[in-house]
Amino acid sequence: PRLTWSKPPKQWYQRRVRGQNQMMGEWYGFFVAVSYGLTSISITFLNKTVLSIYSFHYSLTMTLAQVILSIVFLRILKFLRWIDFPGYEMTTGKKVFPLAVCFVFMVATGLASLVNVNIPMFNALRRLTTLMVIVGEYVLLSKTSPVDEVASVLLMCFGAVIAGWADLTYDSFGYFLAFVSCFCTAAYLIYISKVSRDTELNTFGLMYYNNVLSVPLLLVMVIYFEYQDLKAYPYFGNFGFQLSFLLSAIVAFILNYLIFLCSKVNSPLTTSITGQLKVILTTLIGLFAFNDVNINFTFIFGLLVSIVASIWYSIVKLNQVSKRRADEKKNTKEKNENEKKKKKK
């Protein structure tokens, strides 16, 4: 008889997920948080390995490979009914296109800056993104941030400035690319909420549209800026390079998925602490991993200031979430009490 393959029924997937959750119980959220942290650390070092150890200075090509692989994975997961998102529509694509532009420049400049900037300093410079988001929300959305939140962000940036001033491996072009990456990341974060409202796409729908629209942009840029040099790249046949490059593309997709999953199954506290532990561990390992850091007191002091400020920022954001939830709970309770009084009357 001829064997045929068909999509597994949705009920099968639901039973499978319930079984997994029951089996793992209270360890499920911990497992997801640890996976997110380890994956986030891994992607930084994999990218640094490809870009620095193997001298693959073609961040656009690397971004294109990650995007294409993400599209393939999304289609496979949708086929298996593990996730769901709508098919491509031109009207929705037009709304998401500016987001894709921000995404392309965000990832490409971030990868390019890793070529010339050591990992601890790269982490410190990325803290500037939060300040740019605060300024952008104030200018574009008229949203004012609390004083303690602004103070923690300014302290983060102050630490980055101190570390940058003492960084003996300072590379002006690498720093410039890091600043551009921060700006594009801030624009991406601000614009993503607007696109979500306008299109009503879920997380995977946004990922799919974003990746599909990024492909032609990246393809044109690769052909124009990198193709001629790519033909002469000497390590294409090297197994170590091939493995690192492939793992980098795979881990990039897994990280995007785990960010969504960690936010879904864990509290803001767990996700926030995981993110800050990731920054601390990446910074500490990065001090010694690639022999591209000249350690001195001022440099370490600046990094410590930036890390402490990051933890302070997380606590501030957690308090904001807790206060908002308490207010919502109080309002719900008052509303229920008022409804009971009306019924008695």
Report the chain (345 residues): mean pLDDT per 10 consecutive residues. Answer: 51 52 57 79 80 82 89 90 86 89 85 76 74 78 81 82 69 83 81 79 85 92 87 88 88 78 59 62 67 72 81 78 78 79 70
Structural Rg of the chain based on CA atoms = 22
Helical pair 119-126 and 27-48, crossing angle rounded to 10 deg: 120
pLDDT at 235: 87
Comparing C-alpha atoms, which of 20, 177, 54, 12 is closest to residue 107? 177
Tell me what pLDDT residue 213 has: 93
pLDDT at 216: 93
Alpha-carbon torsion, ordered 283, 285, 289, 291, to 10 deg: 50
pLDDT score for 23 = 46
In contact, 104 and 218? CB cutoff 8 Å = yes
Q: For residue 104, give every residue at least 6 positions away whose Cβ sits within 8 Å of its Cβ, in sequence order, or none.
A: 63, 214, 217, 218, 221
Q: How many CB atoms lie within 10 A of CB 77?
A: 16
Quote the pLDDT of residue 268. 47
Query: What pLDDT does residue 305 have?
Result: 84
Q: pLDDT value at position 212? A: 93
Q: Is 144 left (phi over 0), alpha (psi -120 to 50) or beta?
A: beta
Name the residue among 98, 150, 82, 163 with its Cα closest to residue 124: 163
pLDDT score at 219? 92
pLDDT at 155: 87
Q: 142 and 309 in contact (C-beta within 8 Å)?
A: no
